[in-house]
Structure 1
Amino acid sequence: MQPSIGAFEAKAQLSRLLRAVEQGEHFTITVRGKPVADLVPHRAASSQGLAAAIEALQAFPRIRGVGDADLAGFIEEGRR
C-alpha cells in the first residue's frame, strides 16, 4: 500500500517527494484524511506502441461502395 500524505505536508515537502517519486515511490495525497490525488512516476509514451497502433489502423480494411454523402449521413445519424 502506498503511503498517504496530507496536502499541507506534501506542499511543504514537495522537493523531497519528487525525488522519492523519481526513485519509483508512489504517494496518495489527502485533504482532511480523504484521498484526492496520487503522486506517481511519469510514464513516457512508447514510440514503439504508437507506431504499432498507426500500423494497425492503416491495415484496417477500408469500406468500399460508400460515397461521401452516405458517410456524412451515417455520421449525422450517429449524432442524434
Structure 2
Amino acid sequence: MTPQLDNLIMNYPLTLPHFFERTRRIFPKKTLATRVPGVGLERMDYGRWAERTTRLAGALQALGVRRGDRVGTFA
C-alpha cells in the first residue's frame, strides 16, 4: 500500500453491528426522525433508538430467531 493511502482505509469491517454500536456510543443525544404512516414524523435520540432496537433484538431471540434468519416486516 502506498504511504499516501495508509490512513484513508478503515482497519475494521464496515458492518451494521459496527455502525449501530458506534452511533450508540458517540451520538446518544443526537436526534433522528422517522416517518410513521398516519402519524407523521417521530423524533427520538439515538440512545433511545438503540435501547428500542436492543429490546427488539432480545424479543426476536426469545422467539427463536437466530443469526442468519430472515425476518419480514409489514408497514
Q: Which has the higher helix share?
A: 1
Q: TM-score range by the shorter chain?
A: under 0.3
Q: TM-score, normalised by structure 1?
A: 0.23
Rg larger for: 1
